[in-house]
């Protein structure tokens, strides 16, 4: 690990997490002290698994700016941990704390302040503050530069973001921002098939393609328009061919009060539905989940997974820590909890 002294007076491309306590300056001093103490506690817990040499924290008075000199995902995981803490029941002995959260990836310069302590300056932290100012209470917004880097690391990350459009700051500078969703990005294949719309997987896949084209339409109007028109024409042809196919209907009579075989089949859940079990995940700061050697996803954002009954080998990997391994006995139709905090 490179020391802070060796890093001084160098320019880095790093992730910056900017936090702001909403309404802090309008509170009485007694409430400000309580809010700042609560804020420091939440931030320390969110950053607990990150080595001090890989982060720099700047106190902004009514919040903080944290620069991550290591993996860019660390800013996202820290922000998710903070948002989870804010959405959980808060202590009743003080005012409710609310925050705005923004993340940017950009250039910063590591310098020393007047007291000889490490400090950061540069466009990376300025844009992080602008992005944070656009967010709603307890909402996480990220810049386009951060989204483009992190979304390439995993499909789970890419599906977690939602394009929110362009915002203009007080310096008439535009920023394209993305909101971090609250639900798991990826679902098991069995759940995707169960929720597929009528018309089959082909139409479902084409519909998803049109959705992506709509996003391109907002960012690149000319290209998005051309692609969207082509996709709509293809869908129209598929729907027409589907309607033209002859439908085979088999009617079976049943005695009064009894269900037909087709109705009985609908009422009786398939074996997979009867036996499936769910596992809720609580991993801090983050981890790759493997079940019997097969990757199930990354948590967060993944909140739950389906597991087969029986003895299952669970492994949780984090690039900074040794892997966590356990064997669990899963009962059919049960709901279990998998919790681990890397230290």
- The stretches in the chain having pLDDT less than 70 are 1-9, 182-274, 320
Give the pLDDT score at 268: 52
> What is the SS3 assignment for 193?
helix
Paired tokens of 287: 């981890």
Q: What is the pTM of this model?
A: 0.54
For residues 236 and 243, is the Cβ–Cβ distance under 8 A? no
pLDDT at position 179: 94
pLDDT for 225 = 47
CA dihedral 31, 33, 35, 41 (to 10 degrees): -160
Q: Count the Cβ atoms, other than its own, within 10 Å of residue 10.
A: 11
CB 105 within 8 A of CB 15: yes
pLDDT given at position 221: 47
Per-residue pLDDT tens for 205-250?
444 544 454 454 444 444 444 554 455 455 555 545 544 444 443 3
* Contacts for 194-201: CB closer than 8 Å, 24+ residues apart: 199/239, 199/242, 200/242
Count of CB atoms within 10 A of residue 46's CB? 23
Which one-letter DSSP state was computed for residue 25? Answer: G
Question: How many angstroms separate the CA atoms of 241 and 246, rounded?
Answer: 10
Quick one: pLDDT at residue 237?
53
């Amino acid at each position: 690990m490179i020391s802070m002294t060796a890093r001084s007076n160098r320019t880095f491309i790093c992730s910056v997490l900017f936090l702001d306590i909403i309404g802090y300056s309008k509170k009485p001093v007694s409430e400000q002290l309580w809010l700042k103490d609560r804020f420091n506690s939440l931030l320390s817990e969110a950053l607990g698994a990150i080595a001090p040499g890989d982060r720099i924290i700047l106190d902004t008075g009514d919040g903080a700016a944290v620069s991550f000199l290591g993996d860019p995902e660390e800013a996202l995981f820290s922000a998710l941990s903070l948002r989870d803490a804010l959405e959980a029941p808060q202590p009743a002995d003080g005012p409710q704390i609310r925050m705005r959260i923004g993340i940017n990836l950009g250039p910063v310069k590591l310098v020393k302040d007047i007291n000889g302590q490490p400090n950061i300056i540069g466009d990376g932290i300025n844009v992080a503050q602008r992005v944070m100012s656009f967010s709603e209470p307890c909402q996480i917004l990220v810049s386009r530069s951060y989204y483009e880097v992190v979304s390439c690391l995993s499909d789970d990350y890419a599906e977690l973001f939602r394009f929110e459009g362009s915002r203009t700051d007080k310096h008439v500078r535009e920023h394209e921002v993305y909101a971090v969703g609250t639900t798991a990005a990826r679902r098991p294949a069995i759940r995707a098939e169960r929720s597929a719309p009528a018309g089959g997987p082909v139409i479902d896949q084409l519909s998803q393609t049109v959705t992506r084209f709509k996003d391109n339409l907002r960012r690149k109007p000319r290209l998005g328009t051309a692609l969207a028109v082509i996709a709509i024409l293809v869908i129209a042809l598929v729907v027409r061919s589907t309607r033209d196919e002859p439908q085979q209907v088999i009617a079976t009579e049943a005695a009064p009060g009894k269900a037909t075989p087709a109705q009985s089949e609908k009422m009786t859940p398939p074996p997979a539905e009867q036996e499936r079990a769910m596992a809720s995940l609580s991993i801090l700061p983050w981890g790759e989940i493997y079940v019997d050697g097969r990757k199930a996803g990354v948590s967060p954002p993944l909140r739950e997974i389906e597991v087969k009954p029986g003895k299952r080998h669970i492994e949780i990997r984090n690039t900074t820590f040794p892997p966590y391994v356990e064997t669990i006995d899963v009962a059919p139709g049960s709901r279990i909890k998998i919790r681990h905090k890397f230290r």
